[in-house]
Chains A and B, each alone.
Chain A
Amino acid sequence: MTIFLASVGFGLVTASVLAVAAIGFTLQFGVTDVLNLAYGAVMIAGAYLAYVLNQAGLNIWVGLVVAVAACSAGSVLLNSGIYAPFQRRGATPITMVIVSLGMTLIIEFGTQAIAGGTSVSYTMAQGPSVRAGGLVLTTVQLVVIGLSVLVMLGTHVLLRYTRLGKAMRATAANRTLARNCGIRTSRVITLTWAITGALCGLAGVIFAMDAGSFDATSTDLFLILILAATFLGGPGQAYGAMLGAVVIGLATEISAAYITPSYKYVVAFVALLLVLGVRPTGLLGARA
């Protein structure tokens, strides 16, 4: 029982990190139509930027803010400099995926070239542990969970109640009709890259906090969790990504308590392949 509760605790943290990452990833795909596999690479670049600032003596939470801003700006550039020109040329979805894999190599190993191949950790206080009903969580873990809940609420508010969020959903649903309504979709798409890039940066830093130590290739496997959560919920569906993140996060960590931890990703993998093979539109997806 203690093992189970402890794994639920880990699962909640993983699910929280995953939810932030998967919301960003799925919105990127839904609104801009780019299946951006370089998302994990951007995450780790952000995490490493926060590390550099942290090493320079800045508080890690300051580093987090800078990383969020940098990933936001970087994602906007990634789209306007690479993806958008390819899309304008009419590149097929497969070509876009290959381009995004090329960008993965450039960003991920570019980070490694600067960072070196060794694992690094943030210098930060974990804060006192908090017990609640058998769960033991550090303050940092609680903050991560709190941030994730904020992001989910924020996403909900953005998509349901703001002009921009509704315009994003309208653009995702029918770009031409959105333009016929006077919506400047290119601007909406740029803002979407900015928002999802910020989520990507946030996910990168809290991923690194949760992992303890990380190197440039650490998100290779995490990207699989992101993909699993995204496809489980239905690609492009923000609420689906939240649900998928909770399911995948809890499932991987709880299974890790009972089988060898290094196999915990297998759960996500099986879930992903099942969804792809049986119901590619995901649990919440309705789009054919």
Chain B
Amino acid sequence: MNSYYIINLLIYAAVDAMACLGLNQQFGVAGVTNFGFIIFQAAGGYTAAILALPDQSANGGFQTYIGGWNLPFPIPWIGAAMVGGLISLPFTFLVGRRLRGDFAAVGLLVTAVLLNLLVTNYRPLLNGSAGLSLIPQPLQGEYNAQSSGYQWTLTAIAIVLCAVVYLFVRRITESPYGRSLRAMRDNDVVADSLGKNLFSLRSAMLVTGGAIAGLSGGILVSYITTWSPAAWGYAETVVLFAAVIIGGAGNHLGAILGAILVPVGFEEVTRYIPTSNNLPPNLIPSLEWVAIGLLIVIFLWVRPQGILPERKRVIRAGAAAIPPTAAAPPPPEPPVPESMAPEPAVPMSAMPVSVLRPAGEPPGDREVVLEAVGVSKEFGGVRAVDDVSFTVRRGTLTGLIGPNGAGKSTLLAMLAGTLSVSGGTIYYQGRDVTRLPAYRRARLGLVRTFQLASEFKRLTVMENLLTAVPDNRGDSFRGALAGRRYWRGDEAAAIARAEALLERFGLDGYANSYAGDLSGGQRRLVEIMRALMAEPRVLLLDEPMAGVHPNLARRIGNQLTALCAEGLTVLMVEHELAIMDEFCDPVVAMAEGAVLAEGTMAELRSRSEVVEAYLVG
């Protein structure tokens, strides 16, 4: 009895913890709110059942179901995980970028309710509301399933599998891929602009979480030997959400703690409530649900980060300097460009690797790197940009000025590919890129920043920078699974580049601060540095100094000038013309969708049409 009780407790704890880990991976780490999570556990349960059960006529036919293949352990569990993952695929269309998160969540919730209804009512499929019973336990023919030794072994296997799942999700979460997931959670639009494929990331999380949920369902039915629609009502998903929120969303240990406190804890607490004859039969379970609802609301109000909050990923300064162990592949060091001559203003010698991709020619060559030919943009009949042609030369810090509504930001967006052109052609490095989407241009080295603050708030400054690194071997599902040794080289190189940038922009003291805690000006810096991490050849900056203290603006200007001297090309929209005076050459003046003039700021100031444009508008 006592042993049975402990076994029961441990198995439930392992199963619930596993499910919470899967849900936490989706919700806490990747920000995918899957209110249909229980469907996948249910699918795993049914799959394990029909794989393990003999044909439906075997038990005298008192229950009807499809399948009944009588397959040996561990096939039912493997099948459970696979089916849990596979049935996630149809749901991926709900979590693309088009649908609001809360609407997608509603869609998944409704799906969970409806599938339960279908299974309940359609008996031939899975025996309807009565559910399946007499599900064979693993290897019950070979061993005595009633013996405590057998039960303890099953328990141990469940716990070991739970530990494996924990290591698995941790491996994903702590990789560069996991960082991309967390970035998507914090700000999906910006993650998208950095070349993260939101659909693929979310789909991978749905499938991963679904497989984990399926496995947990498979283990559960193997132990309790029954499975019915009553076990997976929509409210069970809410219980798992409660567990993850209370334990600490984004923290896998928190998810395990939540699983022990909420589903397991509630089961155990009610065991000790005396069943009195005076109480209505449904009272205790009802009050349990009420308590779970209260816990969710109270926790979201009092401690939304949960008991064990997501921990900060601190990356030590100089971590990259530690040479990788012999077993690790050597980091692919990019060749140091010739143009990286020591620069007195910046401690370049301290930089282990280059900040930038090799620039090719030395600066001063001034060949055209970006060109707009007759580019136009119409918005509902209004020409925001009208037949604009101009060129940007390599190694220059080109300014783009003009009164409000001149079409500067629109032009910048078309150059970057975030807006399509209504007419005209854009050449980048001699190649027609007019039809290339933004992320493809970004991969070619044409990178933009946004006017609005766009940092990932719950990532550190260092992590914000690392997110933008293209081609990190660990920034894919497969790479993450391959483990730290596979990607540590890329990571170390990226960290070294990030540290050099941080030092350069004077933010090295904030590497391990959450980006959300920085001041407005510092956030602008983070965004510029993040854009630089994407290894741009041409950087398009949209008002990088807006709302930035003049001293800081000057520092940004100095650093951009230095970067241009190393071969970077910058095109910058800016309203503070003093900045243009000091740093930009040439400056292009626009008004009412057209280019008015080009030259140094001093030249422009002497041109009456520019002055008029500003004064009259």
Contacts and interface: CB of A to CB of B under 8 A. Distances in A.
Q: Does A associate with B in a complex?
A: yes
Interface stretch (A63-71, A110-118, A137-145, A172-180): A110-118
A224 interface: yes
A276 B106 CA distance: 9
Nearest to A262: B121
A97 interface: yes
A199 B235 CA distance: 25
Contacts of B4: none
15 contacts: A86-B301, A93-B100, A94-B33, A97-B102, A98-B33, A102-B294, A104-B238, A105-B235, A105-B290, A105-B293, A231-B103, A266-B118, A272-B107, A273-B107, A280-B103
B294 A97 contact: no
Interface residues of B, number: 48
Interface of A: 35, 37, 82, 85-86, 91-99, 101-106, 108-110, 112-113, 116-117, 216, 220-221, 224, 227-228, 231, 235, 260, 262-263, 265-266, 269, 272-273, 276-277, 280
Contacts of B300: 86, 91, 95, 98-99, 102
A106 B297 contact: yes
Contacts of A85: 301
For the complex of A and B, the 5 pairs showing the least CB-CB separation, nearest first, are A105-B293, A117-B282, A102-B296, A109-B289, A106-B293
Interface stretch (B109-117, B145-153, B411-419, B447-455): B109-117
A125 to B, nearest CB: 30
Nearest to B105: A97
Given A105-B235, A113-B282, A221-B117, A94 B292 contact: no
Contacts of A97: 33, 102, 105-106
Contacts of A106: 290, 293-294, 297
Given A97-B102, A227-B110, A269-B111, A104 B282 contact: no
Given A99-B296, A109-B286, A280 B110 contact: no
A113 B286 contact: yes
Contact of B107 (A104, A109, A221, A276): A276
A113 B287 contact: yes
B594 to A, nearest CB: 30
A231 to B, nearest CB: 8
Interface SS majority for chain B: helix
Contacts of A216: 286
A173 B76 CA distance: 54
Contacts of B245: 98
Contacts of A280: 98-100, 103
Contacts of A117: 280-282, 286
Contact of A276 (B35, B104, B235): B104
Which of B94, B113, B234 is most buried by chain A, counting CB atoms within 10 A of its CB? B113
Given A109-B287, A112-B286, A263-B121, A269 B114 contact: yes
Nearest to A109: B289
Contacts of A116: 280-283
Contacts of A86: 300-301
B290 A227 contact: no
A114 to B, nearest CB: 8
B281 A101 contact: no
B93 interface: yes
A92 B458 CA distance: 15
B352 interface: no
Interface string B106-144: 110111011001101110000000000000000000000
Which of A98, A103, A269 is most buried by chain B, counting CB atoms within 10 A of its CB? A98
B241 interface: yes
B479 interface: no
A94 B290 contact: no
Which of A91, A110, A216 is most buried by chain B, counting CB atoms within 10 A of its CB? A110
A99 B297 contact: yes
A13 to B, nearest CB: 21
